[in-house]
Every structure is written in structure tokens, then in C-alpha cells.
Structure 1
């Protein structure tokens, strides 16, 4: 193994997502670096596993647009990886979506 083009420091949620994206680029050699024995053992381990849908973002703002777009990505990623996701919704989201 030779030198790497990219080293991803940390294998939590963000680091793992970055490493996954880098793996799609065959011309780059990347290596994840994690201090723990396994991925997701730091602050990512304490995550609530709730996907934020942007129900509280002000409509029309950049935040609202980015959160809505981003909220669709985990389900697509999970489906492609065979990871089950159960979209149960949340009360605030249900209240905001009512006419």
C-alpha cells in the first residue's frame, strides 16, 4: 500500500459518510482513521437516530430547502445498503402538514 490522497479523521456519522462518498471516486486513495475499536463509537453513538425533516425551519429559507433535500438522502442510502428504515413520522411534523 502506498500513500493516500485523503485521510478521513473519525468514523462517526460524518466521517463514514465522507469515506463512503470518497469510495465512489476510484482515482482517489482514501483511508479512514478512527481512534475507537469500531465505527460510530464516539459522539455518533449517542445519536437519537431521528432524521430531522425540517418541520420547524422557516418556509422558503435555505435551511428549509437543504433540510428537506437532505432528509430524503438517508432512506435512499439505506435502501441501497440493505439497511431497514422505518419512517414513523413525528407529531410536530404531522401538525405542521395539516391543512
Structure 2
């Protein structure tokens, strides 16, 4: 499985508008996307008021590519959010099923 971490920083003053897009469009879209095992959306905190994130677990790299295309390492955004976003980043990891307890 592939863990995909997508982070967005909004333009100053665009937090509320992006927040509506995030909750009304992005989260439902990701939750209904074939190939996604788990979606963990992250909303801003006081110390990072313009940052939003998604941690997504995909069943395979093939499933991820079916959604975003061959250029899966590029952080794609919906055209509706493009004017709201100052920066974005994407990282991918192989999901570790279990780890030793301390």
C-alpha cells in the first residue's frame, strides 16, 4: 500500500474559502475515490492557520495512478482551488503494516 501525504498552504485571507472547498468538495471526493483505503484529512491549527493536509492510503501505486495519472509525484489540485493555494507539496511512502511496540 502507498501512503500519500498532500499538504496545502493557502494564500493569506483565503483560509475560510479554502476550508469550505476542503470540507464540501475535497473530503467527499477523496472518500469516494476507488482505490483509496483510508483518508485522514487535516485542518489548520492555531500555529499553522493556513495549512491543510490529507494523508491517504492507497491500495496500490496502480490505483493511485488511475486517479492522478502517470505523473503521480506532482501535487495536482482542482482548478476550483488554484487561486486559493499559495503552495502545495506531496510525498509518498510505502505503508508499514505494523511496528514493534516500545
TM-score (norm 1): 0.28
Which one has a larger percent helix, Structure 1 or Structure 2?
1
Which one has a larger percent strand, Structure 1 or Structure 2?
2
The higher radius of gyration belongs to 1
TM-score (norm 2): 0.28
Of structures 1 and 2, the one with the larger relative CO (CA 8 A, separation 6+) is 2
